[in-house]
Structure 1
Amino acid sequence: MNENNYPKLHNATWPGIVGKGADSEPVIPFDTMLQMTAAAEVDGVKFDGVDLGLLDPHVNINSTDDEIKQLADKISSYNLRVGSLVAPIWGGPAMGTHEQREHFVEMVRKACHFGKVLRDLGVRPHGVIRIDSASSPADWDKDPENNTKLIAETFQKACDVAAEYGEKLAAEGEICWGGMHSWKTMINTLEMVNRPNIGFQADMSHTTLYLLGYNRPEDRILPEDFDWSNREALTDGIKTVTKALRPWTIDFHVAQNDGTVHGTGSHDKTGRHCQATDPNGKLDIAKDAGYWLRDENGNLTKAFKHICWDGCMFANEVMMKQQTWNDILAKMIEVRKLHGWYEAE
């Protein structure tokens, strides 16, 4: 049997929290996210695992090792593994005060410990720790040079801590994070960090907005009032961004985007995560994923062992339908069929 079994297919748990809460829709419980993920099935294929947001009320970052084991046992009971983890670093911007920056690094340390315990328990065979600058583009733009330097210094300290735990950090490319809000500022930040265990988390929805220059018009690739029916120009734009950022990419989110920005609750506007079957989606998901998963010569990079679907800011009504997750899984399977590989296990 040579049907592709890599990359592993993961679902994200944090869409049950992000954009939810008192100023939006109710949080979807962690157990519900696990249940919906585990129940998804397409032609006998199921999700292999979940990526975890170490975020209240789903997960307590200050969990004891025994509590982490209980969490691992719960996830394993659904026949799921754990992949990448989101560190809750938003208590202080990476370009903030000394105290705020120290808090940032401490949250990374706690996330790395959490990840190591899960690795030692055998439920987390691969994955990274996801971070961002916890800073707005508007604040960053007040002093770009100095603020980028501060972010890089904070990331360097976080990388040094992560290295003690054998972890890599993936900086999320999203237009709502200062210093990471365009493809060029993202590369500049990563180059300034200059650590072997820093990389880029590519999300197909967010990186689509890099093409349009939201929050950084001078870095736009596609023209204003772009005609989305011009697939050739869109492909060329995707190739430009992927060529620049693929060498940094160590974590990958499959997603759809309709070319607009979106935010709910307290979450700043960013790339709209559309449903896998959204007729307004601008991406050919399986084909366009290949620009991240293959190099310029068409060879698989195998830079990460799993891919994840991020359905942030889907309405609760959508997220509570099992068909939503079946459709997502079907699209993930399509990506793996086109760009996956087989490894004996």
Structure 2
Amino acid sequence: MPENNFPKLHNATWPGIVGKGSDSEPIIPFETLLEKTAAAEVDGVKFDGVDIDLFDAHFSINSSDDDIKKLADQVSGYNLNIGSLVAPIWPPEGGSAAGSAAERKQFVEQVRKAARIGRKLRELGVRPSGVVRIDSATGVGDWMKNPAENTKLIAQTFREAADAAAEFGESLAAEGEICWGGMHSWKTMLDLLEQTDRKNVGFQADMAHSSLYLLGYNRPEDRILPENFDWSDRATLDEGFKKLTDALRPWTIDFHVAQNDGTVHGTGSHDKTGRHCLATDPNGKLDITHHAGFWLRDENGELTKRFRHICWDGCMFPNEVMYKQETWNNILAAMIKVRKAHGWYEA
């Protein structure tokens, strides 16, 4: 049997920016992340591509067609493709999806710009798969001031953003990260997706972030695992994963492989979100290969094949760690195991 060659394996570039900057460690240049990604190799297998952020420090969402062509040439020069894009929908360039009319208009406009870039990259032949990632750009505390009305507003904004993205043939993936209002529990996420009700809007599962739904951080009444859960109880953990993934898998259109130590971490707008761990971290609570299968296979154990690539997401690692080539080789090794267990072959 030939080795599985799908889903394609992507690295993420935004960990070079998230948690970095003026009051922290220096931002890691886009070119450096491409170099590390392209250099990673395990038994002859390499990364197939990168998912990228449209942040000024790496690539501006206001870029011209010539700039987009340069980006395509830059990435393909490393024998990599581009996959999913992160739209910078947060203030001040964007605005809260539950905010004023002006803020929500800014949100939609940022999505429109990201979708335009996405289509251009497809036309250039460097982006065979991927979505545009969004969140509510709304804090949990702000959402809780009026949950019903705020979810209604976010859904309205998401519908308008979906219509804008559809003009360019793009789909939007709402990130399963517990720091965003209206998206901070699996039940609020389901409610938002159902109210949005657009064919080109789905869910982005991240193994580190979305696993925190199990513990009910930021919304204890929606926790799935029991209080004072013992992570060594793998049967109960798997039962919880099944409940979570059975609910959200039908909506899932983008997937991040990651590890988590069962705690929350973050700064600023990313407060109380799932702490990413290295693939080899002994404190990691997930069996990466095993638990990826809950997202990549349906309730009957059959492959969903909903997405053509998967991505590693690991934010807020120290620069010292991210500059080590060994880090990326270990991450690639973990992703290869996921593909061997839950992938498929296409000639």
- Pick the TM interval, shorter chain: over 0.9
* Structure 1 residue 271 corresponds to structure 2 residue 274: yes
Query: Is residue 179–residue 269 contact of structure 2 (8 Å, CA) maintained in 1?
Result: no
The aligned amino acid for 2:133 is R
Query: Is residue 264–residue 313 contact of structure 1 (8 Å, CA) maintained in 2?
Result: no
Query: Is residue 139–residue 269 contact of structure 2 (8 Å, CA) maintained in 1?
Result: no
Which residue in the other structure is 1:25 paired with? 25
* Structure 1 residue 181 corresponds to structure 2 residue 156: no
Which residue in the other structure is 2:175 paired with? 172
Query: Structure 1 segments of 4 or more deviating over 3 A?
Result: 264-267
Q: How does 1:1-345 map to 2 (within 5 A)?
A: 2-91=2-91, 92-264=95-267, 267-344=270-347
The aligned amino acid for 1:62 is N
The aligned amino acid for 1:8 is K
The aligned amino acid for 1:51 is D
Query: 1:23 deviation in Å?
Result: 1.8
State the SS of the aligned residue for 2:260: coil
TM value normalised by structure 1: 0.99
State the SS of the aligned residue for 1:78: coil
Query: 1:267 deviation in Å?
Result: 3.2
State the SS of the aligned residue for 1:272: strand
State the SS of the aligned residue for 1:154: helix
Query: 1:269 deviation in Å?
Result: 2.7
TM value normalised by structure 2: 0.98
The aligned amino acid for 1:33 is L
Q: Deviations over 1:263-289 (max 9, x none)?
A: 146632310100000000000000100
Moved more, 264-273 or 242-251: 264-273
In 2, the alpha carbon distance for the partners of 1:266 and 1:289 equals: 27
RMSD of equivalent CA atoms: 0.8
Q: Percent identity?
A: 74
Query: Is residue 257–residue 312 contact of structure 2 (8 Å, CA) maintained in 1?
Result: yes
In 2, the alpha carbon distance for the partners of 1:172 and 1:266 equals: 14
Stretches of structure 2 that go unaligned for 5 or more consecutive residues are: none
State the SS of the aligned residue for 2:43: coil
Query: 1:208 deviation in Å?
Result: 1.1
In 1, the alpha carbon distance for the partners of 2:269 and 2:147 equals: 24
State the SS of the aligned residue for 1:149: helix
In 1, the alpha carbon distance for the partners of 2:279 and 2:52 equals: 21
In 1, the alpha carbon distance for the partners of 2:123 and 2:315 equals: 29
